[in-house]
Amino acid sequence: MAECHPVGFQWVMEAKARGAKVIHVDPRFTRTSALADVHVPLRAGSDIAFLGGLINYVLSNEKYFRDYVVAYTNASMILSEEFADTEDLDGIFSGLDQERRFYDPQSWQYEGLELRSPAGERDQDLPDGAGAADQAGVGQAARGEAHGSGGAGLPAGQPERDESLRHPRCVFQVLRRHFSRYTPEMVQEICGIPPDLFRRVCELLTENSGRDRTTALVYSVGWTQHTVGVQYIRAAAILQGLLGNIGRPGGGIMALRGHASIQGSTDIPTLFNLLPGYLPMPHAATNRSLDEYIDAEATSKGYWANMRAYAVSLLKAYWGDAATAANDFCFDYLPRLTGSHSTYDTVMAQLAGDCKGYFLLGENPAVGSANGRLQRLGMANLDWLVVRDLTLIESATWWLDGPEIDSGELRTPDIATEVFFMPAAAHTEKDGSFTNTQRMLQWHHTAVEPAGDARSDLWFAYHLGRRIRAKLAGSADEMDRPLLDLTWDYPVSGALAEPDAEAVLAEINGRNADGRPLSAYTELKEDGSTSCGCWIYCGCYAGGVNQPARRKPGREQSWVAPEWGWAWPANRRILYNRASADPDGRPWSERKALVWWDADRGRWSGHDVPDFVADKDPHYQPPDGATGPAGLSGADPFIMQADGKAWLFAPAGLVDGPLPAHYEPQDSPFSNALYQQQRNPVRQVTPYQHPGNRMQPSGASPGSDVFPYVATTYRLTEHHTAGGMSRSLPYLAELQPEFFCEVSPELAAAAGLEHLGWATIVTARAAIEARVLVTERMTPLIVQGRKLHQVGLPYHWGSVGYSTGDSANDLAAISLDPNVHIQEVKALACDIRPGRRPRGPARLELVAEYQRRAGITGRTGMEV
């Protein structure tokens, strides 16, 4: 966190100054470790074993917050008899279709609920050839990310519960059994963490959790960029649920983002499978009408039951008066999913010649995405490419100076791709908002006009749309109606005709039938009388005031600081904060009081905006058949969940299992010590089979020893992601001027590497070179009885800029988490050898030689 989020880390330092203990879990000793009380080095890719070990400690030592667990989690729910755990099936859950590589989640359901037909079956009526990555069904390919604001739906019915938590099939007992073999010894075996160090973490964590104390977990892409990334976070959620650390001050699970508004880019998404506010993008086959879409995607209880109001209001924001009840509010105008259109599927489509045009807006996949070579080869197969960035990044210049030009794979005169570079304005050159990881919107104002041809993204999108609409004007083709009927009337100003960003904010906030700004999403209607560009942002322009622009200093307001910026939903700073009070509505402790039930006024009250129906009595019980928010009791704090509970066990919503289980990374030098099943059985690899994307033998398979080390990629404070914002700047480039790899003195001695000399790092995909930094901060670990050396690789470099170097991500395979299609770049088996890499075609030959030595074919690593 100190490395990548130094500004945010000031608050950790402030907490530390007040006595907080800071534990840092990372393969390397980083700037964060330097300031932490405890540093826990572990093997990259082993965190579920580590977190599972903590969960096992909490359960077997009775360290959980029992009252919280019984009342607020689904620990007491009884599971269907059909459910079989990884303990029963040696590493897989019930419902696995080995052939089609997907789980039918039917058997993961609570007892007593009517079962819905599973997603895989529902998708069978999709058109053939629906896309590269839909082996698991479009429904699954597209739905993993749709839970950014609440969980998946549940079938109708009343689940059975056992509040004594003794029923052998209740979630609590299933959990206990599932994690029973995640012992300190197993943690040592898999992660390389000594038991005494592990015990210290267990003690610090549990001593600091309960009625009076809370612990926060903070993670970033070190947890997510794995073939089981989502399950890492699930493991953290289980731990925090058991410890009662959700919805309470000082608790939570904080996702640190890689860019200033990554949270914003999923809220108002840049993802193929989402509409604003986590409304799923409709399917081509299963969401044929608005009714069908709502029926399939809405929940019956909780606030997601009101999904129709959110969706209709969005359609009204898009198409205004053209959207009427008679025409399904133009639901047919929305694009439909026919398969996975994630970034990696798009690359495969480029390579296959199906994808002809590509927009890159502030993204540098030639450096930042997994398997850079395939990214560049894909772009070389396009008809046209538009790059909008601050400087000429590698994704705009690969045709001139990319590694494939040097290797002779590509010749500049032969490349037919027409590349358009559009210089972009920086955030200081435009108005707009950032949404940070606390879901807080903060406004920024133009400080200077953009120089030269640089323009804001808003300018680009607005004027591009305006010009296209002008070209289509008068068209009678039905296909053009969605564009021509769009509300596209933003006021512009100044010499550049810059659209008014605040007008966009007002549209996002939404308006009532009189055109006046709405103040809360509870005002949204399903009859078309309200419009709202993103239901969770409703209220950000309440009263016609730009709420994100508020900057009242913290010292002039309460410690919650509600008047600094604006946080969705409804300006709540801590989600699910009903959980900060006990079932009767009293704070669990005075020290951790946040919101509480004011019986005299018959309302919830407190420091933060209560995340609950304001006047719902804590003892309210829903009548039979109640739906929506009224379907949840007064003691169900998790109001975006279909049952109002924190899910220790996920009966729906995940495609790779209801519980986290440790699987080895796609390419790993180790066998799975816990199960026969080596890898996540439903990870996404088969759609990316390509000669340029070969996988490696793992564990005990022959050839695995060709790649004996584990590399992990990361960022340095001095640079920003793929380098477009930092390698072009002398003041930053000089602080970390060259690509380097970090190795321990022992690895240096073993591999013959010299400090400040060169090393070549090789995987089945690429060979890259880096200067060698020998440092004690890299710790060899004892894993499964043998010494493991890890290699640290900052991934900022590429072929252009003030500071250049090879790209670490060229080493990575396209092997993805099946829920959210994120690439595994945090744990890579590799080899490292002294000296510079070969030049020209010999570079590819070196990789081919490694493939031969390891016996790699197109089938390697493709096992279920």
Partner 1 sequence: MTGAQPPGGITLADLIRDGLTPLLDRADPAAASGHEPGQPRVGFFTDTSVCIGCKACEVACKEWNHVPEDGLALTGMSYDNSVGLGASTWRHVAFIEQPRRGAEDPAGRPDGEAGGEMRWLMASDVCKHCTHAACLDVCPTGALIRTEFGTVIVQEDICNGCGYCVSACPYGVIERRPEDGRAFKCTLCYDRLGSGLEPACAHACPTESIQFGELDELRERAAGRLEQLHRSGVPQARLYGEDPADGVGGDGAFFLLLDEPEVYGLPPDPVVTTRDLPAMWRRAAVAALTLAAAGVASFAAAGPVRRR
Q: Provide the minimum distance between the beta carbon of 675 and partner 1 in the complex, in angstroms, as a whole number.
A: 25
Looking at the Cβ atoms of 455 and 727, the one nearer to partner 1 is: 727
Distance CA 139, CA 143 (A): 6
Q: Provide the minimum distance between the beta carbon of 190 and partner 1 in the complex, in angstroms, as a whole number.
A: 14
Whole-angstrom Cα Rg for the chain: 27
Tokens matching residue 610: 């209560």
Distance CA 485, CA 5 (A): 43
Distance CA 122, CA 169 (A): 28
Contact of 332 with 772, CB cutoff 8 Å: no
Looking at the Cβ atoms of 189 and 498, the one nearer to partner 1 is: 189
Looking at the Cβ atoms of 260 and 593, the one nearer to partner 1 is: 260
Q: Provide the minimum distance between the beta carbon of 428 and partner 1 in the complex, in angstroms, as a whole number.
A: 13
Looking at the Cβ atoms of 200 and 336, the one nearer to partner 1 is: 200
Looking at the Cβ atoms of 49 and 175, the one nearer to partner 1 is: 49
Looking at the Cβ atoms of 208 and 571, the one nearer to partner 1 is: 208
Looking at the Cβ atoms of 197 and 216, the one nearer to partner 1 is: 197
Contact of 603 with 591, CB cutoff 8 Å: no
Task: Provide φ and ψ at 420, rounded to 5°.
Answer: -110, 125
DSSP letter (8 states) at residue 496? T
Looking at the Cβ atoms of 12 and 642, the one nearer to partner 1 is: 12
Q: Provide the minimum distance between the beta carbon of 743 and partner 1 in the complex, in angstroms, as a whole number.
A: 13
Contact of 695 with 764, CB cutoff 8 Å: yes
Q: Provide the minimum distance between the beta carbon of 758 and partner 1 in the complex, in angstroms, as a whole number.
A: 11
Task: Provide φ and ψ at 59, rounded to 5°.
Answer: -70, -45
Half-sphere exposure of 447 (CA within 13 A, CB side): 6
Looking at the Cβ atoms of 491 and 730, the one nearer to partner 1 is: 730
Tokens matching residue 858: 């197109």
> Which DSSP string do the residues of 619-669 spell out, in sequence order?
T--PPTT--BGGGS-TT---TTSTTSSB-SS-SSS-SS-SS------SS-S
DSSP letter (8 states) at residue 609? P
Looking at the Cβ atoms of 13 and 593, the one nearer to partner 1 is: 13
Closest CA to 747 of 708, 716, 785, 713: 708
Q: Provide the minimum distance between the beta carbon of 738 and partner 1 in the complex, in angstroms, as a whole number.
A: 4
Looking at the Cβ atoms of 342 and 744, the one nearer to partner 1 is: 744
Tokens matching residue 253: 């699970």
Looking at the Cβ atoms of 15 and 284, the one nearer to partner 1 is: 15
Q: Provide the minimum distance between the beta carbon of 770 and partner 1 in the complex, in angstroms, as a whole number.
A: 10
Looking at the Cβ atoms of 182 and 740, the one nearer to partner 1 is: 740
Distance CA 300, CA 472 (A): 42
Looking at the Cβ atoms of 730 and 840, the one nearer to partner 1 is: 730
Distance CA 703, CA 829 (A): 12
Sign of CA dihedral 5, 6, 11, 17: positive
Residues in contact with partner 1 by CB under 8 A are 2, 6-7, 9-10, 13, 17, 29, 31-35, 37-41, 192, 194, 196-197, 199-201, 716-718, 730-738, 740, 755-756, 771, 773, 775-777, 779-782, 802-803
Place of tokens 């032969």: 414
> Which DSSP string do the residues of 565-605 spell out, in sequence order?
SEETTTT-SSTTGGGGB-TTS-BS-STT--EEEETTTTEEE
Looking at the Cβ atoms of 645 and 719, the one nearer to partner 1 is: 719
Q: Provide the minimum distance between the beta carbon of 555 and partner 1 in the complex, in angstroms, as a whole number.
A: 15
Q: Provide the minimum distance between the beta carbon of 179 and partner 1 in the complex, in angstroms, as a whole number.
A: 23
Q: Provide the minimum distance between the beta carbon of 755 and partner 1 in the complex, in angstroms, as a whole number.
A: 6
**Which CA distances in Å does 801 have to 340, 373, 377, 607, 726?**
34, 19, 21, 49, 9
Kind plus residue range of the DSSP H or E element containing 386? strand 384-389
> Which DSSP string do the residues of 790-814 spell out, in sequence order?
EEEEE----SSSSS----GGGG---
Q: Using CA atoms of 20, 24, 30, 35 in order, give the dihedral in degrees to the nearest 10.
A: 20
Q: Provide the minimum distance between the beta carbon of 542 and partner 1 in the complex, in angstroms, as a whole number.
A: 32
Tokens matching residue 28: 């390397």
Cis peptide before 708 (omega within 30 of 0): no
Q: Provide the minimum distance between the beta carbon of 771 and partner 1 in the complex, in angstroms, as a whole number.
A: 6
Looking at the Cβ atoms of 835 and 840, the one nearer to partner 1 is: 835
Q: Based on the number of CB atoms within 10 Å of its own CB, is 600 exposed (0-12), middle (13-18) or buried (19 or more)?
A: exposed
Distance CA 129, CA 341 (A): 13
Q: Provide the minimum distance between the beta carbon of 452 and partner 1 in the complex, in angstroms, as a whole number.
A: 21
Looking at the Cβ atoms of 755 and 853, the one nearer to partner 1 is: 755
Distance CA 71, CA 643 (A): 12
> Which DSSP string do the residues of 361-395 spell out, in sequence order?
ES--HHHHSSSHHHHHHHHTT-SEEEEEESS--HH
Sign of CA dihedral 422, 425, 426, 427: negative
Q: Provide the minimum distance between the beta carbon of 777 and partner 1 in the complex, in angstroms, as a whole number.
A: 6
Q: Provide the minimum distance between the beta carbon of 342 and partner 1 in the complex, in angstroms, as a whole number.
A: 34
Helices 229-243 and 47-60: angle between axes, nearest 10 degrees = 20
Residues with Cβ within 8 Å of residue 31, at least 6 apart in sequence? 2, 3, 717
Distance CA 594, CA 579 (A): 9
Please tell me whether residue 16 adopts helix, strand or coil conformation. helix
Looking at the Cβ atoms of 684 and 744, the one nearer to partner 1 is: 744
Q: Provide the minimum distance between the beta carbon of 358 and partner 1 in the complex, in angstroms, as a whole number.
A: 32
**Which CA distances in Å does 170 have to 106, 160, 577?**
17, 9, 26
Q: Provide the minimum distance between the beta carbon of 391 and partner 1 in the complex, in angstroms, as a whole number.
A: 16
Q: Provide the minimum distance between the beta carbon of 246 and partner 1 in the complex, in angstroms, as a whole number.
A: 26
